[in-house]
Amino acid sequence: MFDSIIYNNINTSIPHDVGKNCAYHLIPFYQWFLEIFIVSILIIYSLIYTFKNVTLPKKIKYDNRERTGKKIILLLMAVFFGYEIGYKFSTDTIVHILSLCHIATAIQLYILVAKPSRLVTALFRIQLNYLSGPVLTFLFPQSDSRIIFAHKSVYYLQHGMMFVIVIYLIRVGGVYNVGPLHDFSWNILAIAIAVAYHYWLLLPIAFVSIKKKKLTIVTELFII
């Protein structure tokens, strides 16, 4: 029952998404465990280092005026993202909701509705490092299984809106700032969180899925 809801309707006609080729992606369990162990040490070290070095401005000027542009992009992204989530639920491919692009989109939606704060600044700086995901989406789209034009269109519109939101908020300024150019602490922190998310959550899910010959590693789950 659980399997059918999560990835029952993944298109079996696409070779790199499902089938016997999945078995070729398997590695011995000890190698899988060793890789996670080594990467985990690097992740923990990076998190400890960055938590000691990241800084946020104590006082930030912010214009509290109601902005029509902000409401418009919030509405558009909410519609596109809601459509994407609905599409995955309706097609029993919920596993793809775990894509890092979706997590970054959820962060952007929170940033748009949240009151100005240091947390908003921190989240804004972190999600900036995940814009490589939309870039890879346009360069290597995983939309072969989307036959209907509307499904395919929203796929690109949602990822395109991620850039629109960032550009708009940088222009607004205030709590939406990128920090000093020479400070890479936020970049390291964001990458460490992304790698932790992939190795501690997505990789175990992918390993179980591959064992069941349902998914391969080459899915939109692992687009950063």
Question: 197 in a domain, yes or no?
Answer: yes
Question: 61 in a domain, yes or no?
Answer: no
Mean pLDDT of the chain: 81
For residue 3, the model assigns a pLDDT of: 52
Asked if residue 188 has pLDDT above 60, the reply is yes
Confidence band of 186 (pLDDT split at 50, 70, 90) = very high
For residue 157, the model assigns a pLDDT of: 93
> Domain range spanning residue 159?
2-54+68-222
Q: Can you point out the beta strands (E) in 62-197?
A: none
Question: 85 in a domain, yes or no?
Answer: yes
Q: How far apart are CA 30 and CA 32, in angstroms?
A: 5
Average pLDDT for 82-108: 86
CA dist list (Å): 138 to 93, 107, 122: 21, 21, 27
Pick from 167, 159, 166, 82: nearest CA to 126: 166
Question: 62 in a domain, yes or no?
Answer: no
Average pLDDT for 82-103: 84
As for how many domains the chain has, the answer is 1
Question: 63 in a domain, yes or no?
Answer: no
